[in-house]
């Protein structure tokens, strides 16, 4: 069977696509690839191994409910990853949880979009 298409990018709605792209570019050690319109309406990050194109789209409405889609970001050291994400402007949403052999920390980016930092259970976690 032929696919209908391919994923061109993962789009994240936001109020300030330039600022949010800066946060995520630091999270993934990548850079801004394209900025569309002035003021910017779409900002794309350069994809790299393990990271698809992330696209930030300016929308007028604020985030009001839990995301129905989020990124799980596998890390080596959960404690260090949490500290780094918070230093970039991210925030912790709730305490670290272990489930199905994974420790995970629900986080939010500067505009409140949730994501999870995950590590195999037993790796360093917040104490």
Q: Is the pLDDT of residue 9 over 90?
A: yes
Beta strands in the chain (DSSP E): 10-14, 32-36, 42-45, 54-58, 71-74, 91-92, 97-99, 102-108, 114-120
- Percent of the chain exceeding pLDDT 90 equals 87
Instruction: Parse the chain into domains and list their residue ranges.
Output: 9-61, 70-127
As a CATH number, domain 9-61 is 3.10.180.10
Mean pLDDT value across residues 116-120:
97
What lies within 8 Å, CB to CB, of 61 at 6+ separation is: none
Homologous superfamily, domain 70-127: 2,3-Dihydroxybiphenyl 1,2-Dioxygenase, domain 1 (3.10.180.10)
Mean pLDDT value across residues 11-34:
97
Q: Tell me, what's the pLDDT at 123?
A: 62
Cα separation, 50 vs 12, whole angstroms? 18
Contact by Cβ (8 Å): 102, 118? yes
Contact by Cβ (8 Å): 61, 107? no
- Percent of the chain exceeding pLDDT 70 equals 96
Q: Tell me, what's the pLDDT at 122?
A: 80
Contact by Cβ (8 Å): 47, 55? no
């Amino acid at each position: 069977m032929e696919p209908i298409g391919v994923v061109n990018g993962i789009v994240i709605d936001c109020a300030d696509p330039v600022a949010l792209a800066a946060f995520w570019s630091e999270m993934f050690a990548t850079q801004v690839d394209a900025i569309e319109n002035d003021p910017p309406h779409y900002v794309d990050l350069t994809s790299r191994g393990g990271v698809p194109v992330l696209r930030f789209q300016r929308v007028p409405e604020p985030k009001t409910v839990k995301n129905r889609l989020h990124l799980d970001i596998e890390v080596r050291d959960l404690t260090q990853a949490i500290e780094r994400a918070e230093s970039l402007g991210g925030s912790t949403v709730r305490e670290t949880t272990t489930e199905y052999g994974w420790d995970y920390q629900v986080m939010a980016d500067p505009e409140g979009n949730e994501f999870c930092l995950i590590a195999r259970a037993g790796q360093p976690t917040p104490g």
